[in-house]
Each structure stands twice: as C-alpha cells, then as structure tokens.
Chains A and B, each alone.
Chain A
Amino acid sequence: MSNNTAPVGMNNLGNMLSNGASQRLLRSSWRGVSNFVAGLAILFVIWWVGIYMISSNPSTEHFADFGPIPAFKAIPMLWEEGTIQSAITSSGYRLGSGLLIAICIGVPIGILMGRSKRFRELSNSPFQLLRMISPLSWEPIAVIVFATWNQAIIFLIAIASVWPVAFATAAGLAKVDPAWFKVARNLGAKPWHIVTRIIVPAITFDVLTGIRLALGVAWIVLVPAEFLGVSSGLGYSIQDAREGLSYDHLMAWVLIIGAIGYVLDSTCVLLIKRFSWHRGDQ
C-alpha cells in the first residue's frame, strides 16, 4: 500500500490533478482509516478466538458469554432500554463538573507556581505529598463531608485531576520567554493585559496537555468511585451487570467505557494540536 507499490496510472492521475498533495492526503487518511479498522478487527478476532477456545472446554463453558458476539448483541439492547444514555449522562455530568472544578482551581495555582519562585519552592513538598495520596483514599472523608454521593464523586474526580492541570500549567509558564513580560511592560501593559495577551495564549497548549492527563486520571477514578453509593453511571452499570451475572452486559460496558475514553482522549489530542505554537520543536 506504500507509495512505491501504487499503480502507475494512479500516480499519473495524481499528477494530472495539478497538486498531488490532496491525493496524498486522501491516501494517507485512507491508510489511517484502514489501519484503525484492521487493528480493531484483529483485537476482536483475538478476543473471539480466546473465548471460543475457553468455552469449548466443558469445565469453562459458562465463559461463552464473555465473547465479543454476546457483547455486541447486548449493546443495542442496552441502548433501547436507555441504560447507556442515562449512564453516560450521569457519569459525564460528574466527570465534567469534576474536571471543571479542577481547571478552575488548578490553572490559577499553576500560574502562581510558574510566576512566583517563592511559592513554587514552598508549595513543592505539600503538593507532592497531596498529589501522591491515592484519590480513592479520600473517599471515606468525602462521604462524611459532602451531603450526597454525587458531590463526593465530583470531589474525588476534582482532587485527582487538579494536580496534572496545575503542574502542566506551571511547566507551560516556565517555558515562556521572560523577555516577553519585559517587552509587554515596556509597551505599557497592565497586569490584566499580561494575563490575557501573554500568559493565556502561551499556556493554552500546556493547559490542554494537563487536561488530557487529568482526563486519563479522572477516567480511572470515575469507575471505582461509582461502585459504591450511587445507582447511576458507568461504574454502577459494571457493578450491576456483575451482580446480575449478566456477563454479556459486563463486556458491553467494558467496551463502552473504552470507546468513550478513546473518543475523549482523541478530542483532547486534536485540541492540543490546534493550540500548539511550538511548531519548531518536535
């Protein structure tokens, strides 16, 4: 499929189309799509073969429900019941609120860390200690402090994701050339202008990188946080499928979680690329 093996006629056609670039773009995106589909197909074949071999053994026959075919049959069923939509809505609300709080707290802390050496040096040890407290160990405290489980889950997501956002913001500010601040001040910029005209555009890329990391962590925290207390969301659905011994639903949920996570992560990657101004590097 590489350029060398492409038929000569195709190449001529490409040249005839005045710019081969559009054709190359088309071919590379086609290549991307085919790799995407083929990779997933291989995964599903391996999954199918594995479960087929396990379930053909009489002693482990009951594992047949874990296969890809029951899982794919379960997805339309769950969709029609509205279970998928409601789980996504409630988990999405918790994830979104948690991340929003993390950004609202994390970005100012990160800016403070990046701009004030004194604050950065003093805050390092407490922040590292707090960062390495496994988020789920806050759960008993969160449950006591907050009135509802919903709030406790949002708190857990926020406290898990505030650190990547804050540290990425600080790292972004550290890369800003100090001369820019001097130039801005010489041109009469007020502190407000420095924030809106220099700091925010310069660190957007790093903040988004931090949000991507935060999303990865929040995604890990979300599921166990929803195992307890609530009766909605993706984590609850997993637990529910497990207790109902409906393994086809279980595998369907695992797939749904993976697919949504993939979409969210890819969205972050696209946003990061869009706001990148480090064109020279990398």
Chain B
Amino acid sequence: MSDEVAPLKVGESRPYRVLKSSGRGLSNFFGGLAILFVLWWIGGYFISVNPSTEHFASFGPIPTLKAFPELWSAGTIQSAVMASGYRLGLGLLISVIIGVPIGILMGRSKRFREISNSPFQLLRMISPLSWMPLAVIVFATWNQSIVFLIAIASVWPVAFATAAGLAKIDPAWFKVAKNLGATPIHMMTKIILPAISFDVFTGIRLALGVAWIVLVPAEFLGVTSGLGYSIEDARETLSYHHLTAIVLVIGALGYLLDSTCVLLIKHFSWHRGDAA
C-alpha cells in the first residue's frame, strides 16, 4: 500500500478486494450456519406439533440456545472443556513424541519401513476403543486410560504423515549437508525438522480428528468429567436441551481446533509451487 509508484487502480482495488472477499467469507460462514439452524428449527417445530413426539421438543434450537447460559453459569461447559482438553492435549502430545521419531525412522531406513509395515498396519487397524478393557486393567486411573486411548489412536496418523514427509525430501539435500560438514544434529535441526513440520502438522490434524472421535466414547464410562460424560449425564437425566447444547459445543470446539490446525499447516507449508 505504501508503494506510491504503483498505478492507482491496483493500489485501490487490492485492499478493497481483500475486504470484499473476507466480507464474502464471513457472510457465507454466517449464512451457512443460519441455514443449518433454520433447518434444525423446522425439524424441531414438526417434532413439537406432533402429539406423539411432543416431549422431544427440547431437541429444537431454541431450548438448546437457552441451555447455554444455564450450563455456562453452572460451570458445566468450562469444567467439561478443561477436563477433556487436558486428556486430548496430553494424548496428542504423547502421540507426537512417539509418532514423529517413528515416522523419521520409517522415512530414513528402508529396512525399518519394510519390516514395520505389517505390524504397524495391523496395530493401526485395531479399533482404538478395543484397547479400553486392557487399558483399564493396566492403568491405575480412568484418566490415564483415556489418555492412553487417545495416544494410541493418534500416534499412527502422526507417524505415517512424518514418514511421507521425509519421503518427499530431495536426497541431494542430505548429500549437500554432509559435504558441508553437517553433524547428525545439524541434519536433524536444519533439514529434517523444517522440511517435515508441514507434514507433521498435517498428521496432527488427522490425529486430532481421530482423537476427537475417540474422546467422547472413552469418556462415556468411568469418569465424571469431560464432554463425553456431560453427554451421557444429560441423556440419563433426560435433559435433552442440555444434550444438544453439549453436542453443539463439541462441534464448535472441534471446528475451532481443526481450523487452527489448517492455519498452522498453511503457515509451515513450503510447497508453494505445488499448490498443495
């Protein structure tokens, strides 16, 4: 914008275009959500006018939106988000700490990649929740077993994405670095980590999606905090407006976390040419 030599037309139109496109983005964002709520409201209306389903009227959007201040002032939302966030964060952290080194090993050593493929594919396709009985026996608290379930579900996307990222690195870079006298540590910090951070974040985004699926059923049993527990609790007390409110909170939080990952991925992308 400070470029005064640039033709006036360009200088004027560029910020205007950005503004217009972000305005368009915002209006689409709210327009889409508004349509969803209208459809929901119509559905809820039909449920409430039919005498046989009358008592399910609180599934509609208006009772749900009324439930938000209730749940917020009772502190239910805050404490559920805190408890679930702690489990999710810890589980993802463990999976990144284990998954990234495994992925680097898979990407760098052909022998390891070939041998590890069949056991890793087998372990990956074990539905995470089938570890639950085992986790409950092995770990002292339910909290730990939930963290374990999230970690074992999300370690595979991180590891495979890291390996795929390493596979894309031009081998010449390693040769150049070696010729310039790089130590293995330099190799790691100056080549591998910057090159794969994009793929690691892609893996973390996938892992987050999986962890988000696992979190809710894992919290159905044993614990008395978290988003999964709140759903189960609302169901058992037949407070359907609380139920739908928590469902909405789960969707909104997931959307927020996923969008954060997308922003991070864009930030660390160096494949500008590929239009990835």
Contacts and interface: CB of A to CB of B under 8 A. Distances in A.
Interface in B141-155: 153
A192 interface: no
Q: What is the interface of chain B mostly: helix, strand, loop, or mixed?
A: helix
Interface in A240-282: 241-242, 250, 253-254, 257-262, 264-266
Interface string B83-94: 000000000000
Interface stretch (A17-25, A100-108, A221-229): A221-229
A40 B28 contact: no
Given A126-B36, A261-B125, A132 B119 contact: no
B52 interface: no
B216 A137 contact: yes
Contact of B235 (A129, A140, A250, A262): A140
A140 B231 CA distance: 8
B210 A39 contact: no
A177 B260 CA distance: 31
Given A66-B134, A222-B127, A254-B130, A133 B254 contact: yes
Contacts of B59: 141
Interface stretch (A7-15, A117-125, A181-189, A200-208): A117-125
Interface string B234-276: 1100000001101100111111011100000000000000000
Given A125-B32, A134-B254, A160-B213, 17 more contacts: A35-B118, A40-B118, A42-B119, A43-B118, A129-B251, A132-B250, A132-B258, A134-B216, A134-B250, A136-B217, A138-B247, A140-B232, A141-B247, A216-B125, A250-B134, A253-B130, A261-B127
24 contacts: A39-B114, A39-B116, A39-B118, A39-B119, A39-B120, A40-B122, A121-B32, A122-B35, A125-B28, A125-B33, A131-B254, A132-B257, A134-B215, A134-B216, A134-B250, A137-B216, A137-B231, A141-B59, A144-B56, A227-B129, A234-B127, A238-B130, A261-B124, A265-B125
